[in-house]
Structure 1
Amino acid sequence: MMLGPSFEFYYVDTQGKIITYSADPSKVKRTHIDTSPIKSVISNRINAATLSPQNAASDTSVDTSVDNNLITSLPILGDDPRQLNHQKIFSAAPVLRDGELQGYLYIIIRGENYDSIMQAVKANNQFGESSIIAAISLAVMLLLLLGLFRYFTLPLCKISNAIKGLSNENWETQKLNLNLTMSQDNELQLVVTTINTMLGQIQKQFSQLQNIDEQRRVLLADLSHDLRTPLASLQGYIETLHIHGEKLSAVERSKFIDISMKNSKNLKLLIDQIFELAYLEGGQVTLQNESVALGELIYDVAAKFELKAAAKRINITVDPAECNYQIFADIGKLERVLSNLIDNAIRHTPEDGEITLSVAEHSKDGKKLEIAVKDTGIGINQNELTHIFNARYRASNSQEDKQSHAGLGLAISQKLVQLFNSELSVESQLGKGTRFSFEVVKTQLV
C-alpha cells in the first residue's frame, strides 16, 4: 500500500482462492476470483515479449495454457474482491517456487480508496462546475432582466423627457404635442394619445382665455370711451351753468339742463347694461317664473315702442293678431329680451319699414313656441352673423342715430334667452332685413 491508494494487493492460489491481501478483512467480499483473466494477462505478456532461449527455458514450468478466446485486447478486466458483481483493471504475476507455480500476485489498479478519492474530487469538480454554471446563468438572467427593464422603461423615459420639454415651449405660439410614436399599439401609446388630447384641450382653453382677455381689454376700452363721452359732456354743461349761470338766459339755461339730463340718462343706461351683463355672465341671476299670457305681453311691449316707431313711420304688427298662448316664464326678463330686439330693429330699419312680432308652434308635439322679431331693415353680412352677439360688436353697415348706444343689447338678450334653455338665432340678408328668434315652453292654450 506504500505505492499509494491506487493499488490493492492480493495473493491467490492456482484455483483463484484468495489466500491473503493487503486490505481490511471486512471490506473483502469474495473468497475466490476467476483466474482466466490472470492467465490471459500472463499469456499476452509472454507472447508480446522478446524472450531469449534461456528465458524461454526458465519459464517452461509456468502454466500459461489458456484458451485463445481469452487472449483479448487491452484492457483486460478481472474480478474485484471488494465487489461481488464488479470488475476492474488489474495486473498479475506468477509466484514460483523451484520453478513450480504456487499462485499469483493479483494487483487491482485504482482501488476502492482511489475511487473514493476520485469521487470526492469529481464531486468537488462538479460542484465547482455547477457553481460556475450557476454564476453564468445568474449573470445572463441579470442581463436579460436589465434588457427587459430597459425595454419597458425607455418609452416611459421618452414620455417623461417630452413632458419636461413642454415647460420650455412657447404656449402662445406653438402647438403642444409629445411627438412620440410607440413601436406598437399598447398601453403606453394610449398614454401618449391621452396626453396629446389633454395638451390639445389645454392649448384650446389657453387660446380661449387669450381671446377672452383680449375681448375684455377691448370691452373695457370701449366702455371707458362711452363712459367718458357723456360724462365729459355732462361735466362741461354743469361747469358752464356753475360759472356763467347768472349770465345765461332762461332759454340757454333750460337747454343746458336738458342736455345734461340726457347725458346723465345715457350714462345711467350704459352703467345699468354693464352691471346687467356682468351679473348674467357671472351666473348670479335667477328666474322668477310665473304664468304669463304671451299675447298680452307682446302687445304691451309693442305699445311701448309705438311712439318711437311712429317717428320713423315704422309699422309694428303682431302675427297672429289673436295670440292666445300661455307660457311659464320670468315676465321681466322675457320683456327685456323683446324690448332689446324691437329697439334694435327700429334703430336699423329705415323709414316706412315694417317690424313683425310672430308666435308659432315650433315643435312636433306642440310644447314649444317660437317667438320671432323680423324687420325690413338694412340686414347684416353673412360673415358677421356669428359675431353680433359679442359685447360691443357693431356690424360694418350699422346705422348711427342721434342717441347713444352701449352695444350690449344683443349680448344681454343672448344671455337672457340662455336662461330659458334656448338660443337666440339670427337670419339676415343685406337690404332685406333681419329675423331674430328663440323658443319658450308652452303650458296651455287659453
Structure 2
Amino acid sequence: MNLSLYQKLASSLVIIFCFICALVYGWSKQLERTSKHHGEQNLHLQLAEHLVQDNPLLQQGIYDYQALENLFHTLMLLGPAFEFYFVDPQGAILTYSAEPGKVKRDHINLTPLKRLILDRTLTPLYGDDPRDPSRQKIFSVAPVYNQDVLQGYLYVIIGGEAYDTTLNTIKANDNVWIAGLWLAGALLFLLIALLILFRFFTAPIKKLATEVSMIEAANYSLVDNQLSSYSNKNNEVDSLGRSIQAMLTRIDEQFKALAQSDKQRRELLTHLSHDLRTPLASVQGFLEVLSQPHRQLSEQERQHYLSVSSDNCQQLKLLIEQIFELANLENGQMRVHTETFNLGELIYDCVAKFCVAADNKGVTLRVEPVICDFTVVADIAKLERVISNLIDNAIRHTPKGGKIIVQVQQADAEQLYVDISDTGVGIQQDELIAIFEPHYQASNSNTVGHQQGGLGLAICKGLLQLMNSEIKVRSELGKGSQFSFNLPKKTKA
C-alpha cells in the first residue's frame, strides 16, 4: 500500500502518541501505587506490633484459635481496610476470619516478613496475599513469642479485599469518569491539532510532488505544465521548489538544444551527402566515358577528363578531412600543443601558398607591416590552418583587381590581433553570426569551379576556441569583409 508523506507522518504520530500516552499512564499509575503503598505501609507499620503487645490472647502465647478468629473478625469490622492472619514459624496459615473459600493459600513466604522485621525502612515491601495466589500486598507484621520461644507471626494485610472492592466502586463514580473523559478529550484535541499542523506543513510538499509528477508525465515539457511560483522564503520547501524549477528549466533548455542540434545534424548530413554525391557522380561519369572502348577520345579530351576527375577527388578528400576535423573538434578529441614561434614567418609561409592563386585571379595579397616580427605562444599547426582557411575564403570572394591584406596589430603588452581583410563582395548583416555554423553558406558564396562544404569557418572558430581565442567579423555588402582574432604575445623575460 502506497502512503503519502502526510499519511506516513500522521500514522507515525498516532502510534508514537498512543505509545507515549500508555507509557505515561502506566508510569503515573505505578508511581501513584508505589507512593500510596509507601505512605500506607509506613502509617500502619507498627499496627501488628501494637496488637501483639495489647491483646491478652497474643501476650500469653496460649492460643485459643476460635477466640483469635473472633478477635480478627471484630478488628476487621472496626477496620475494613485490614485482614488479619496468624501464621506459624514455617509460614503455614493457622487462623483467620473469612468466609469459606475466600482464602486461597495455606502457606505464605516468610522472607518479606523477616526483612521488614529487621529493617523498617524497606517500605514499600510486598508480601503474599492469602486470598489471591497471584497477587502481593503491603502488610504489617510482628513476631509472637511465648517465653522467648517464637510461636508465629501476626500478619496484617493493609488494604484488604473489602477495601479494594470499595475503592473500585468509588473509582467507578460518575465524577471520576467525567474527569477521565475530559482528560481523553484534551489528549484527542492535542492529537487532532498536531495532525492539522502536519497537514499544513506537508501540503506544499504534496503540491510540489503532484506538479513534478504532471511534468514527468508530459516528458518534462514545460509548455503546458509549470511549477507554481515559489517565494524567496528561507524554508526548505520553497528552496526545494526553486531548485526543482531551475532543474526543470535547465532540462527543458537541454531538450530544446538537443532537438535543435539533431535538426542541424540532419541538415548537415543532407548537405554533406549532396556535396559528396556531386563530385562522386562527376568522377564516376568521367571514368565511365574513359573506360568505354568504343569511344574515340582525343588526347586533349582524355587529359581534360582526367584533370576534372582529379580535381573532384581532391575536393572529396578535402571535404572528408574537414568532416573528420569538425567531428574531432565537437567531440573534444583534439588537443592543443603550444609553442613559441615567430608569427610573421608563419603568415608569410601561408601567403606564399596562395600567391599563385591570387595572381591567377588578379588579386593583390600583402602583409602589413612588411617587417612582421612578433613572437607568440600558440599551436602553430592549428594557427596555420586558420590563416590558410581565411586567406582561401578571401581569394574566392574577392573579384579581379581587389586586394587582400593580412595585418598584425598590437593591442597591448600581452595581446596581438590578426586581421584578414578583403575588398570582396561582403556579407549581409543578418548572416554574420550564421556563417560560423557548420555547412552554412552565405548568399554571396562563390563556388565556381569548386564544390565547397561550408565547414571552413566553423573549423576556424573551433580551432581558435581551443587556443582561448575568439574570431570576429565585420563586413559591408559590396565593400568587403574583415576577420579578426587575438593571440597571446610572448613577453620578454
| TM-score scaled by length of structure 2 | 0.63
CA 1:192 to 1:268, structure 2 compared with 1: closer, same or farther past 3 Å?
Answer: same
CA 1:119 to 1:249, structure 2 compared with 1: closer, same or farther past 3 Å?
Answer: closer
Q: Does 1:430 align with 2:455?
A: no
The offset of 1:170, in angstroms, is: 6.0
Name the residue aligned to 1:384.
Answer: 431
Q: Does 1:353 align with 2:402?
A: yes
Which one-letter code corresponds to 2:180 in the other structure? S
Q: Take 2:233 and 2:177, find their aligned partners in 1: how far apart are those partners?
A: 45
Name structure 1 gaps, 5 residues minimum. Answer: 1-22, 28-116
Deviations 1:197-240 (A, max 9, x none): 11111111111101110000000000000000000110111111
* Structure number with higher helix proportion: 2
- Describe the SS at the equivalent of 2:488: strand
Q: Take 2:330 and 2:233, find their aligned partners in 1: how far apart are those partners?
A: 47
Q: Take 2:317 and 2:239, find their aligned partners in 1: how far apart are those partners?
A: 57
Residue pair 1:379, 1:433 contacting (<8 A) in 2 also: yes
Q: Does 1:265 align with 2:314?
A: yes
Q: Does 1:318 align with 2:367?
A: yes
Structure 2 counterpart of 1:418, from 461, 465, 476: 465
The offset of 1:357, in angstroms, is: 0.8
Structure 2 counterpart of 1:155, from 204, 207, 217: 204
The offset of 1:372, in angstroms, is: 1.3
Q: Does 1:191 align with 2:222?
A: no
Q: Does 1:285 align with 2:355?
A: no
- Describe the SS at the equivalent of 1:323: coil
Q: Take 2:446 and 2:484, find their aligned partners in 1: how far apart are those partners?
A: 22
CA 1:431 to 1:166, structure 2 compared with 1: closer, same or farther past 3 Å?
Answer: same
- Describe the SS at the equivalent of 1:443: coil
Name structure 2 gaps, 5 residues minimum. Answer: 1-73, 80-165
The offset of 1:278, in angstroms, is: 0.8
Q: Take 1:185 and 1:170, find their aligned partners in 2: how far apart are those partners?
A: 30
Q: Aligned ranges for residues 41-440 of structure 1 at < 5 Å?
A: 121=170, 124-169=173-218, 174=223, 176-180=225-229, 186-244=235-293, 247-363=296-412, 366-440=413-487
CA 1:213 to 1:284, structure 2 compared with 1: closer, same or farther past 3 Å?
Answer: same
Residue pair 2:233, 2:239 contacting (<8 A) in 1 also: no
Which one-letter code corresponds to 1:148 in the other structure? L
Which one-letter code corresponds to 2:436 in the other structure? F
Q: Take 2:321 and 2:171, find their aligned partners in 1: how far apart are those partners?
A: 105
CA 1:421 to 1:150, structure 2 compared with 1: closer, same or farther past 3 Å?
Answer: same
Residue pair 1:176, 1:199 contacting (<8 A) in 2 also: no
Residue pair 2:428, 2:476 contacting (<8 A) in 1 also: yes
Residue pair 1:314, 1:354 contacting (<8 A) in 2 also: yes
Residue pair 1:326, 1:445 contacting (<8 A) in 2 also: no
The offset of 1:179, in angstroms, is: 2.7
State the identity %.
44
- Describe the SS at the equivalent of 2:400: coil
Provide the alpha-carbon RMSD of the alignment: 2.8
Deviations 1:334-363 (A, max 9, x none): 110000001111111122112111111223
When Rg is computed on C-alpha atoms for both structures, the one with the higher figure is 1
Residue pair 2:220, 2:251 contacting (<8 A) in 1 also: no
After superposing on structure 2, the runs of 4+ consecutive aligned residues of structure 1 that deviate more than 4 Å are 117-120, 122-126, 170-173, 180-185
- Describe the SS at the equivalent of 1:274: helix
Aligned residues: 335
- Describe the SS at the equivalent of 1:311: helix
CA 1:245 to 1:251, structure 2 compared with 1: closer, same or farther past 3 Å?
Answer: farther
Q: Take 1:399 and 1:445, find their aligned partners in 2: how far apart are those partners?
A: 44
Residue pair 1:177, 1:199 contacting (<8 A) in 2 also: no
Q: Take 2:426 and 2:221, find their aligned partners in 1: how far apart are those partners?
A: 37
